[in-house]
Amino acid sequence: MKKPPPLPSLERLCGIYGLLDSLPESDRGRVSSRELGRAIGQTAETVRKDIAHMKADIVSAGGYDPAELKGAIASYLGLRETRRACIVGLGRLGQAILRYPGFQDAGIEICAGFDRDTNKLELLISPIPLLPSHRIAEYVRAEKISLGIIAVPPDQAQITADRLAEGGIRGIVNFTVPVSVPETVSIRHVSVLDELRILAALTDGTA
Amino acid sequence: MKKPPPLPSLERLCGIYGLLDSLPESDRGRVSSRELGRAIGQTAETVRKDIAHMKADIVSAGGYDPAELKGAIASYLGLRETRRACIVGLGRLGQAILRYPGFQDAGIEICAGFDRDTNKLELLISPIPLLPSHRIAEYVRAEKISLGIIAVPPDQAQITADRLAEGGIRGIVNFTVPVSVPETVSIRHVSVLDELRILAALTDGTA
DNA sequence: AGCTGTGAAATCTTTCACAGCT
DNA sequence: AGCTGTGAAAGATTTCACAGCT
């Protein structure tokens, strides 16, 4: 990407990209910054600024062309080439992600699953390789996997992160407790509980 | 809460709260702003400012007492009384959340599940009531459920949000495509795909 | 020695306002 | 009439720096 955009802007652009991606192909009309903003809970100006950040030549006659905008975002964010990702932890959550159909044509390829329990590995049916967790570092490195998803029990979170880091992973989506990683690794923590608590705080009686 | 804190601060406080919550009870030592910051990826100053926002009387002799800090955050954010939540969509993801053990003693009580497919409702075994989706509004209102989780297929996301809103829900965690809700409802969108894309952008060759 | 609390500065983001284009 | 692009203003957040406490 030409110049690292502010993180909030990057997050919004990814949201917009996902939105455009889920738009039916048939939707030939143009889309305005106001509509985009409403969909992701932002103002039209913020959306325009985000788009302006990209400094892409976008035709903006009465709104944007969805396909063109999507392409511009993809180029800007480096989403053009598919990134290889793996999941560690094949419990309920891990399997749900493993089976999530949305990764098709989304620029992300889930190409391996890991679990500590070798019995489980044999029972699960999957089109992609499922391997024991002790092979994470080796396999990630060999297969040039750059992104990882952690969906293991809390007490295994840190060792999982360590193994991924050892394999040279670049980014981690962490569904468990916070872990520490080397500076070379970007990490995104996601927690339903945290989200629910944020909502609880936002909506308590006094608010 | 005394005064609505900035959203980023609120998010961090929730993160810290979760962290303290997952700390072993035995951990009698005090915890410093630096440690907390490292765990959630922030500077010590930011953490201190967040804590200062609460204007709580916290003893801060060489760090904070975990239990005291946790209690202060709980009071401040209105996390003291348990909030009732429901899940809509009992596919793989919905079930994973339904079965997630972490809600115990976490101030959130998942007290109903909904799905469009009545066959599925009968097959699933659950200690909490599972009901058909058309009953959402009625049940949410009757049972005073204030938070909802949307884990349905994309094409049902909007109608699900509408039903939750109709039932008077206060907040929604949305795992699907963006939906629009009345201003009375707070919404948090969470998407693995978005997170992976953000990481992809953050870690592409040029970064 | 280490840690917190906090004003002040610096930085980053968003909003406003309006010119220009279709 | 509606929409984008963008400088300038406003606003919010983070970082700095240091006094004060244990």
Strand C atom within 7 Å of B126 CB:
no
Q: Which of B18, B186, B187 sits opposite A193 (nearest CB)?
A: B18
pTM for this prediction: 0.93
Q: Which range has highest mean pLDDT (A140-144, B17-21, B71-75, B101-105)? A: A140-144
Residue A184, amino acid: T
Q: What is the pLDDT of residue B108?
A: 94
**Across B153-206, where does the E strand assignment appear?**
171-174, 186-189
Each residue's pLDDT tens digit, B170-191: 999 999 999 999 989 999 999 9
- Rounded Cα distance between A174 and A148, Å, is 8
Q: What is the pLDDT of residue A26?
A: 63
Q: Which nucleotides of D are covered by protein (CB under 7 A)?
A: 2-7, 12-17, 22
Q: Averaged over B122-144, what is the pLDDT? A: 97
Range with lowest mean pLDDT among A87-91, B53-57, B64-68? B53-57
The nt closest to A59 (CA vs C1′) is D4
Strand D atom within 7 Å of A62 CB:
yes
Q: What is the pLDDT of residue B5?
A: 74
- Rounded Cα distance between A115 and A136, Å, is 9
- Which tokens sit at A206? 């006094």
**Nearest 10 degrees: Cα torsion B165, B170, B176, B182:** 50
Each residue's pLDDT tens digit, B8-48: 999 999 999 999 988 876 666 889 999 999 999 999 999 99
Judging contacts by C-beta atoms under 8 Å, the chain A residues touching residue B171 are: 196, 199-200, 202-203
Query: Greater confidence, A28 or B106?
Result: B106
- Rounded Cα distance between A32 and A34, Å, is 5
Q: Would you say residue B123 has pLDDT above 90?
A: yes
Residues 141-200 on B with a CB inside 8 Å of A are 146-147, 149, 154, 170-173, 177-178, 180, 186-200
Q: Which positions of chain A have pLDDT values less than 50?
A: 1-2, 207
**Nearest 10 degrees: Cα torsion A78, A83, A86, A91:** 70
Residue nearest to nucleotide D1 (CA to C1'): A62
Q: What is the pLDDT of residue B4?
A: 63
Query: Greater confidence, B148 or B103?
Result: B148
Q: What is the pLDDT of residue A61?
A: 80
Query: Greater confidence, A26 or B73?
Result: B73
- Rounded Cα distance between B178 and A113, Å, is 28
Output A68-75 pairs: Cβ under 8 A, ≥24 positions apart: A69/A16, A69/A20, A69/A31, A70/A17, A70/A20, A70/A21, A73/A13, A73/A16, A73/A17, A73/A20, A74/A17, A74/A107
